[in-house]
Each structure stands twice: as C-alpha cells, then as structure tokens.
C-alpha cells in the first residue's frame, strides 16, 4: 500500500484566496487543526488553527494572513510532505515520529497530490493488522536470535489456527523480543501451550470478538503496545 493510495478525498486543501472564516469552518467540519496550502498546484505549506484564530478579520485571505510570497515555497513547503510512491510503513513512521495530524502527499516536483490524515492511517492500520477479523491476540517473548517466522507460523498452525498478522517489538539494550500474533481462533489456549512447549515466554492474550464489549479497549491496548 503506497502513500498515494492513502489520500483522503474528502478534506479540501487551502488556496491563498480563501478567507479565514471559510478555512476555520473546514477545520471544524473535518475536525483538524491544520490544512495544507496549495499554490499553482505546488504544496506551499501549512495553515494552523491558532494562526487563524489570531487573525484580526475573518474576511482576511490566507495569503494576506501569512504574508505569502506565491512565487516561493515556504520552509514547510520545501521540506514537508511525502512522495506518493512511499510505502505505508514510511507514512506511518513519519506521522508517528513527528506526531502529525495530516501529511501532504507530493510528487518529485513537489506538486500536491492530496493529504493523508491520522484517521486514514488508523483505518488502514486496522486493515493491515486484521483488527476487524474475529480471533485472538497472543503476545510471547523470546530471544532475538531464536526468532524465526517459519517456526512461529508452524506453532500456530499446530494449534489448528492461522496467523492473520504479526508484529515484532524490540527493546533497547535487551536481547529479547516480544512477538504479537493475531490468530483466527477465539480460544488461544492450545496455541499458548504450544508456544510454552517451545520455550517461548507467554506475556498476555486478548480475545477479539466482533460483538465483544472489550474490543475497543483491547485494540487500544494493542496499538499502544505496537507504538
């Protein structure tokens, strides 16, 4: 999945001629505090809600408010954004590292292609980690040198289950890793027993039923663990 495939088609970009009131309305409607500014198809930079709220006149244009030089990209326009051919993991890493609410997508000439929102990332991360599938999550620990994907899959399949998704968590200054496996059975006890038989240390497990009242809590716990 590439950055260009993650673009939101609902939230508009901002033109220099748009006024403060209109852009504030968009931010309220789409529940964001930043929007990209596009000038002559180029990503120019970002306008922030705090800047708009400081404006003396709601009819002031964005160009006037930010004293935009339309023939020159802003500092943000020169360095901010991600190429449309970058992988989902690159998008996730950049948005997580910089704690971004929106991420403009550009081409190699810095033409604006669209934007990715945090909500888009959450939705596609759910698809990537198969969170909408019924099943359970098992977290086990082993040494980095012992980890083999083929062995993990073999253990899960020996427990009459299938791997839906898998994530490895490393720890600084530690030789151990946590392996988080989403499997397609609601009762993971047999799989857990097999992991322990092969000298994996059991950490925790979560059952994820579609109608389970604890679904959101368990999913949030998993995403915090991944982060």
- Give the confidence band of 213 by pLDDT, cuts at 50, 70, 90: very low
Number of domains in the chain: 2
The runs of H, that is alpha helices, within 66-162 are 75-79, 88-98, 118-128, 149-158
Residue 168's region, left for phi above 0, alpha for psi from -120 to 50, else beta, is: beta
Whole-angstrom distance, CA of residue 149 vs CA of residue 215? 27
What's the whole-model pTM score?
A: 0.66
Residues 35 and 87 in one domain: yes
Residues 58 and 105 in one domain: yes
Domain boundary among the residues 126, 152, 185 is at 126
Q: What rounded mean pLDDT belongs to the chain?
A: 86
Residues 11 and 118 in one domain: yes
The runs of H, that is alpha helices, within 54-112 are 62-65, 75-79, 88-98
List the domain range (segments joined by +) for residue 95.
Answer: 3-126
Residues 173 and 99 in one domain: no
Residues 142 and 185 in one domain: yes
Task: Look up tokens 């073999």; give the residue.
Answer: 154
Residues 49 and 8 in one domain: yes
> Which residue in 61, 1, 5, 62 sits closest to 36, CA to CA?
62
Domain boundary among the residues 85, 109, 126 is at 126
Summarize pLDDT for 70-102 with one digit per residue, the tens: 677 777 777 788 999 999 889 888 888 888 888
Residues 20 and 90 in one domain: yes
Residues 121 and 146 in one domain: no
Cβ atoms of 161 and 183 within 8 Å: the answer is: yes
Residues 115 and 51 in one domain: yes
Summarize pLDDT for 173-194 with one digit per residue, the tens: 899 999 999 999 999 999 999 9
């Amino acid at each position: 999945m590439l950055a260009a495939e993650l673009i939101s088609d609902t939230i508009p970009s901002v033109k220099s001629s748009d006024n403060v009131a209109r852009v504030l309305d968009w931010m309220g409607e789409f529940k964001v505090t930043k929007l990209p500014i596009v000038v002559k198809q180029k990503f120019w930079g970002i306008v922030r809600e705090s800047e708009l709220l400081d404006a003396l006149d709601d009819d002031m244009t964005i160009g006037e408010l930010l004293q935009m030089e339309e023939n020159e990209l802003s500092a943000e326009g020169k360095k901010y954004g991600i190429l449309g051919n970058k992988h989902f993991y690159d998008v996730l890493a950049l948005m997580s590292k910089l704690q971004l609410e929106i991420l403009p997508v550009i081409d190699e000439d810095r033409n604006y292609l669209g934007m990715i929102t945090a909500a888009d990332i959450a939705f596609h991360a759910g698809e990537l980690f198969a969170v909408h599938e019924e099943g359970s999550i098992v977290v086990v620990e082993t040494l980095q040198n012992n980890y083999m994907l083929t062995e993990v899959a073999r253990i899960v399949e020996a427990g009459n289950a299938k791997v839906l998704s898998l994530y490895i968590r490393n720890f600084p200054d530690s030789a151990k890793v946590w392996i988080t496996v989403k499997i397609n059975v609601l009762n993971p006890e047999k799989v857990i027993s097999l992991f322990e038989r092969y000298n994996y240390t059991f950490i925790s497990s979560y059952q994820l039923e579609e109608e389970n009242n604890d679904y959101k809590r368990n999913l949030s716990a998993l995403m915090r663990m991944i982060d």
